[in-house]
């Protein structure tokens, strides 16, 4: 399984190639399909990483308590 960084680089390459619009339709569709898969894999990995990130919140007694990182929506 490729790393997140490798998948993101490949996705960027696909986007650049599709934006040029110089490929036949069939090849463009294959690249688009591959890009959708890479995008989903990257999102899944980012979602998993987000779940692992925690903030330390200082309690009134001075102790630190871990809490889930708030998601921006």
For 33-71, the pLDDT digits (tens) are 999 999 999 999 998 887 676 666 667 787 877 777 666
- Measured between alpha carbons, how far is 24 from 59 in angstroms, rounded to an integer? 60
Q: If one looks up domain 4-68 in CATH, what number appears?
A: 1.10.287
Q: What is the CA radius of gyration of the chain?
A: 19
- Measured between alpha carbons, how far is 61 from 31 in angstroms, rounded to an integer? 56
Residues 9-26, mean pLDDT to the nearest whole number? 96
Q: What is the pLDDT of residue 24?
A: 97
Banded model confidence at residue 72, pLDDT cuts 50, 70, 90: low
Domain borders along the chain are: 4-68
DSSP of 30-59, one letter per residue?
HHHHHHHHHHHHHHHHHHHHHHH-EEEEE-
pLDDT at 73 over 70: no
């Amino acid at each position: 399984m490729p790393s997140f960084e490798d998948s993101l680089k490949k996705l960027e390459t696909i986007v650049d190639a599709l934006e040029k619009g110089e490929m036949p339709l069939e090849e463009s569709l294959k690249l688009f399909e591959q890009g959708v898969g890479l995008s989903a894999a990257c999102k899944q990995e980012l979602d998993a990483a987000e779940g692992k990130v925690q903030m330390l919140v200082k309690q009134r007694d001075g102790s630190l308590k871990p809490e889930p990182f708030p998601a921006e929506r």
